[in-house]
Amino acid sequence: MTRDPSEDLPWWLRWIGGSSEAGRELSRRMSPILRSFFASKALASDVDDLVQQVWLELAETLRRRQDVKIQTTVRAYLLGIARHVLFRHIRRRMSDERRDPLDSSIAVLEPSLSQAIGRQLQAQRMVRALQRLPLDLQILLELRYVQELSQPEIAALYDMPEGTVKSRLARARRMLDEELR
């Protein structure tokens, strides 16, 4: 049974209000989602560190600005931070400075991931096809279909119009279909 993402907002509000209990509950709810996000895009040994980086970046944001408003859901907000954390992580690990995670696939950026993910996931063919997509399109598809974010949530996360999200999703699905053929 899927949990309603709006249930997380009260925990968020209590946490930023100073409740450490609410912070622990929010972490309990969100950490598996963040782990799942990173699992198909980073080495298994890096996943927990990347999740921690999301929480650290969030804490730093809240330290600088106490008036952070979430315009969609807590999950979408944290996945937006996770996306930026992932791009920074990949840029640091890259040996070829000409490659950009916005335009390169995970198979190109982290060649050993293809084998690791293929062993871990049941749907190997789909995973490989996703990995051949530009990383940002892979993330976009996963946010929509794995994390089940709505198009308005994704539009807010990417800071772009909903119509642009819709067309990018269509493009990503077409590219995925081509890869699967």
How confident is the model over 116-169, as pLDDT tens digits? Answer: 545 454 456 777 888 889 998 999 998 898 888 899 999 988 889 999 999 999
The overall pTM is greater than 0.75: no
Please, where are the H alpha helices in the chain? Answer: 8-16, 20-39, 44-64, 74-93, 106-109, 113-120, 124-131, 135-145, 151-158, 162-180
Q: pLDDT value at position 128?
A: 81
What's the domain range around 83? 5-180
Burial of 9 (0-12, 13-18, 19+ CB in 10 A): middle
Q: What percent of the chain has pLDDT over 70?
A: 80
DSSP class of 154? H
CA distance linking residue 151 with residue 163, whole number of Å: 9
CA distance linking residue 167 with residue 125, whole number of Å: 24
Whether 171 shows a pLDDT value over 90: the answer reads yes
* CATH of residue 165: 1.10.10.10
Q: How many domains does the chain have?
A: 1
Q: pLDDT value at position 32?
A: 92
Residues 33, 147 contacting (CB under 8 angstroms): yes
pLDDT (average), residues 21-37: 91
Higher pLDDT, 109 or 138: 138
Q: pLDDT value at position 100?
A: 63
